[in-house]
Chain A
Amino acid sequence: MSKPFAIMAEYETPAEIMAAAKKVHGEGYQKWDVHSPFPIHGMDDVMGLDNAKVGWFTFFGGLTGFVTGMVMIYFMNKFDYDVVVGGKPLFSGFYAFPVAYEMTILLGAFGSLGGMFILNRLPRHHHPLLANARFADVTDDKFYVVIECEDERYDENLTRTLLEGTGAQHIEMVEDAQ
């Protein structure tokens, strides 16, 4: 048993899909996407997407790292067991800095990657598009516009007409096999 998931149009070049995306966006679709083998410069504007939110994850990751590093060192070397070491101060931001700095970067990096995955709802190994034979070229040299059936403006005929008007080589329905 399967139900229609989306309508998919295939294009040959970035320029074509850029134009197509412009049209689809102009029609006010929400649940649609452009799929390409590499990121296309300017596509975000065309699709009307705002700035990505990954930076917040990075920021809070990094902040956590820095604070953890400093607090950990303060706790371990000054608070919990204060030992006289080399005549150096029990705690100093100077000597704690390298470690705190590395922790900032480490947790910042975790934040970035994790944030990317969370925002992208990845990993998602089961996806209707992945079952589509033709769509396999998306990671090679083909470009696709996919408009999901759940979009409010979706209408099987109108949408197909719209996509045909953008010069797509091939248009087909993608089924969601249960």
Chain B
Amino acid sequence: MSETAAQPQVETHTPKELVRQPLVLNNRPLGWITEQVAGIVEGKMPRWWNVAFTISFLVMMMCFTYIGYLILTGVGVWGLNHPVAWGWAIVNFVFWIGIGHAGTLISAILFLLRQKWRTSINRTAEAMTIFAVICAGIFPGIHVGRIWLAWWLLPLPNANSIWPQFRSPLLWDVFAVSTYFTVSLLFWYMGLIPDLATIRDRLRKNADKCTTGCEKLINKVKQYLYGIFSMGWIGSNRHWRNYEKAYLLLAGLSTPLVLSVHSIVSFDFAVSQLPGWHTTIFPPYFVAGAVFSGFGMVLTLMIPMRALFKLEEIITVRHLELMCKVIMATGTIVGYAYGMEFFIAWYGGNPYELYAFKNRAFGPYWWAYWIMISCNVISPQLFWFKWSRTTPWFIFVVSIFVNIGMWFERFVIVVTSLHRDYLPSSWGYYSPTQVDILTFVGTFGLFMVLFLLFVRYLPSICIFEVKGVTPQADPHAKEGGADKVEGGVH
């Protein structure tokens, strides 16, 4: 995609429809951006934040209560049984991991592709990634029968001389998910350093304005905290040079990481020999699905956020539209994958495989399958229409559908494949219990608590990067080289 800076004098010569919307509307000065974003962190939180936080916190506590019950009682409190030994826990794990993919994808892949529109959304998306991975990480942990021994999955030397078994995709998962979490955290943190410095400096400037002792103390504590985490950043160009290089390298590492993580998650299924799981298309299909669901979740979070914090000029409709296009593209890939699975099941001539797919669509879980198809394949096709890509409330609704559909996709894969496999004698049926359902609901509480804390205490938009893509950031602007920075195909 190419982007053209919209200079007034150029505009007159360019057909209107070819003119790109600027990434920050209304030609705002740099200081305005700082004020706008850092202001959220410094200001008092609105009432809705407190309400939302309280609710989220309670929901999160419910989640922990159910997890406590699970650990004290046994995995049997879930609806699992013998053909279906993995249920909601694994569905939720894959679901959250999938959501966690948009963040790093937006940050890393779009960075490598020089998609400058990423700057307004990458911070939030990365935060979402980290929180989603936290939510995801809970499930494989608690789903094991003896959670207190889960550390046996780590390759630690021990007096038993026994090691983990590295042929297991679950162990790959351990490495992939923990690496993904760590690298995402590093990547996110690295991006935060200059912005934390911004807040540190603003606190420094505002220290004099503090009147009461309490305010002064808070200012001081915050200065220390933001100071420590900003690592003494002074915006030096010699630092920027290494910083940008490191950021580029991290992006370069994160991109294959993103692709590998969901590929490895898909190996949990693809490496098995279960009809419906044993499918070579899974890695790309899962990655596309992850991107799809991740962007869905980014939109779900960002549309209310930009309205609530009045960030429409930074997170513009153009940003939303571009994300809708990604959703449409990945949704189509996912739809293709669904079709391809069926085709191969038929063409491959394995009756077990064919039955597994027939059973998905027309077996006892037909409803899950058709919810998945409607939400994942049909609903994103609405984005062919410009109106639907540019109407935030509508996008919001579709993004919710995408989230639902992607959850059901994992449900369909995990449960319908397991419940009827090779021997009809062991066929069964799985339905979740209260504990299954409310634990999953509870993770949304955890997610929202983390997210609300994030918007409360950290700049939710990458200030320095947004500044970097404004027209006035172009050092050649006054020398007439307007197009050099923003324009051109990279």
Contacts and interface: CB of A to CB of B under 8 A. Distances in A.
Touch test A–B (CB under 8 Å): yes
Interface of A: 13-15, 17-18, 21, 33-44, 47, 49, 51-55, 58, 62, 72-73, 76-77, 80-81, 83, 85-86, 88, 95-96, 98-99, 101-103, 105-106, 108-110, 112-113, 115-117, 119-120, 122-127, 129-130, 133, 135-141
B472 interface: yes
A102 B163 contact: no
Interface stretch (B137-145, B194-202, B396-404, B426-434): B194-202
A49 to B, nearest CB: 6
Residue among B187, B239, B244 facing the most chain A CB atoms (10 A cut-off): B239
Interface of B: 29-31, 34, 155, 161-167, 169, 171-172, 175-176, 179, 182-183, 186-187, 190, 194, 197-198, 200-202, 204-205, 227-228, 231-246, 249-250, 253-254, 256-257, 260, 264, 267, 463-465, 467-468, 472-479, 485
Residue among B161, B235, B267 facing the most chain A CB atoms (10 A cut-off): B235
A140 B163 contact: no
B241 A129 contact: no
A77 B238 contact: no
B250 A14 contact: no
Given A122-B231, A136-B201, A140-B198, A109 B30 contact: no
A34 B237 contact: yes
A85 B236 contact: no
Contacts of B167: 77, 85-86, 88, 95
B233 A122 contact: yes
A41 B166 CA distance: 46
A12 B147 CA distance: 58
- Give 3 nearest A-B pairs by CB, closest first: A116-B246, A76-B163, A52-B245
A112 B250 contact: yes
Nearest to A15: B478
B468 A39 contact: yes
B101 to A, nearest CB: 15
Nearest to B30: A141
Contact of A103 (B31, B175, B186, B198): B175
A117 B240 CA distance: 11
A44 to B, nearest CB: 5
B166 A138 contact: no
A51 B246 CA distance: 12
Nearest to B229: A123
A139 B475 contact: no
Given A44-B241, A98-B260, A102-B175, A141 B29 contact: yes
A14 B235 CA distance: 13
Chain B's interface: helix, strand, loop or mixed, by majority?
A: helix
A108 B250 CA distance: 8
Nearest to B33: A141
A105 B257 contact: yes
10 contacts: A15-B477, A17-B475, A81-B162, A105-B256, A106-B183, A113-B250, A120-B239, A139-B34, A139-B233, A140-B34
A108 B253 contact: yes
Given A14-B475, A42-B475, A109-B250, A140 B155 contact: no
B384 to A, nearest CB: 36
Contacts of B34: 37, 139-141
A38 B464 contact: yes
Contacts of B155: 72, 76
A21 B241 CA distance: 15
A123 B29 CA distance: 30
A76 B166 contact: yes
Contacts of B202: 136, 139-140
Nearest to A36: B235
A138 B204 CA distance: 12
A116 B242 contact: yes
Contacts of B246: 52, 54, 58, 112-113, 115-116
B487 to A, nearest CB: 13
Residue among A55, A98, A119 facing the most chain B CB atoms (10 A cut-off): A98
A61 to B, nearest CB: 9
B249 A85 contact: no
A95 B166 contact: yes
B264 A54 contact: no
A113 B186 contact: yes
Contacts of A42: 475-476
Nearest to A49: B241
A170 to B, nearest CB: 16
Contacts of A13: 472, 475, 477-478
Contacts of B204: 133, 136
Contacts of A95: 166-167
A77 B163 contact: yes
Contact of B163 (A55, A81, A115, A135): A81
Contact of A33 (B197, B233, B238): B238
A47 B236 CA distance: 12
A14 B474 contact: yes
Nearest to B255: A105
B243 A35 contact: no
Contact of B232 (A43, A109, A123, A135): A123
B475 to A, nearest CB: 4
A130 B171 contact: no
A35 B163 contact: no
B244 A96 contact: no
Residue among B167, B169, B244 facing the most chain A CB atoms (10 A cut-off): B167
Contacts of B238: 33, 47, 49, 120
Contacts of B205: 133, 136
B166 A96 contact: yes
Contacts of A123: 228, 231-232
